[in-house]
Structure 1
Amino acid sequence: MDDQNAQLNAQVADLKQQLAISAPTDATGPLQVENVVSLDAGTADIVARGLATIVIDSAGTHLIIQAEQLPALQNEEAFQVWLLKDGQPASAGTFLTHDGTGALYHTIAAAESEYDTIAITLEPDAQGNEPRGPIVLSAPLTSA
């Protein structure tokens, strides 16, 4: 587990460096990394891992999800990202995977900025308004 944490920390540092170097500039300045959290597996039998990155630019605040080694999707299944505050979920969108890897980009509305947890669930389809499937990855959203 320590090797995995070290690898995720190295990926976070690399991501921050890449964003700082390649960030577009505009009238208000470059893209700024606000927060990066490692997403932890929901159960012991899941080997998936991921990162949730919150960035700010002149257009607002955005959530970028990157996940790998996710379980294979069957039929109409999809992964859905949830922002939670005090256990109450709000969908941040759904994504499909390619060879167990997936990503999502979501612009965070001002009201969503106070959410305290992020979770990714494996859903029976991409149409849910509330979580119906198991949590695959999750993490508390902490201040940077």
Structure 2
Amino acid sequence: MLLLCVYIFTLRDQVSDLSNELTLAQMNEPPQGLQTNQAVSLSSAAQNIIAQGLATIVIDSKGTHLLVQAEKLPQIKQNEAFQVWLMKKGQDVVNAGTFYPVDGKGGLYFTLDQNLKGYDQIAITQEPDAFGKMPRGTAVLTAELRL
């Protein structure tokens, strides 16, 4: 009877270990079955800017993600950067990240929080540095969203 109890506890530990390994393996797998919820073209915010881009919202089992890509971006100075902003009715603003372009091309990936429902605009601005909490620079690309 004692040996049977020890054997059961050993099996229980092994099942627990296998379950943990399976969970870790699933977390490291590439995404499968992604659903593109929305894809919007980013338009130049000024006549003298020829930049263009794409903002894609993807939903998977791990959440809602924003993928932003841009090209033909204006040249930046040494400390400058591009920042991506999500806006709600022009008032609530969320910094979705900063990127530095290479040969006029750049982008970023951002996982959205639940509280971002209702944000209706995305913008990329050219900023004096990468540390802005609010837009301070010039809008380069914009588009309307439905989150």
Taking only aligned residues, the RMSD between alpha carbons, in angstroms, comes to 1.2
Is 1:141 the equivalent of 2:145?
yes
- TM-score between the two structures when normalised by the length of structure 1: 0.78
Report SS of the residue matched to 1:114.
coil
Deviations 1:74-98 (A, max 9, x none): 0110000000001121100100100
Task: Read off the aligned partner of 1:141 and give its amino acid letter.
Answer: L
Q: Deviation of residue 70 (structure 1)? A: 0.2
Unaligned residue ranges in structure 2 (runs of 5+): 1-29
- TM-score between the two structures when normalised by the length of structure 2: 0.77
| Equivalent residue runs for 1:1-144 within 5 Å | 24-25=31-32, 30-88=33-91, 89-142=93-146
Q: Deviation of residue 50 (structure 1)? A: 0.2
Task: Read off the aligned partner of 1:64 and give its amino acid letter.
Answer: L
Percent of counterpart pairs with the same letter? 55
Unaligned residue ranges in structure 1 (runs of 5+): 1-22
Distance in 2, Cα, partners of 1:37 & 1:113: 17
Structure with max Cα Rg: 2
Distance in 1, Cα, partners of 2:63 & 2:41: 22
Deviations 1:113-143 (A, max 9, x none): 3200000000000000000001000011047
Task: Read off the aligned partner of 2:31 and give its amino acid letter.
Answer: P
Report SS of the residue matched to 1:44.
coil
Deviations 1:23-79 (A, max 9, x none): 732xxxx11100000001010000000000000111100000000000011011000
Task: Read off the aligned partner of 2:36 and give its amino acid letter.
Answer: V
Could you list the runs of 4 or more consecutive aligned residues of structure 1 that deviate by over 2 angstroms after TM superposition? Answer: none
Report SS of the residue matched to 1:137.
strand
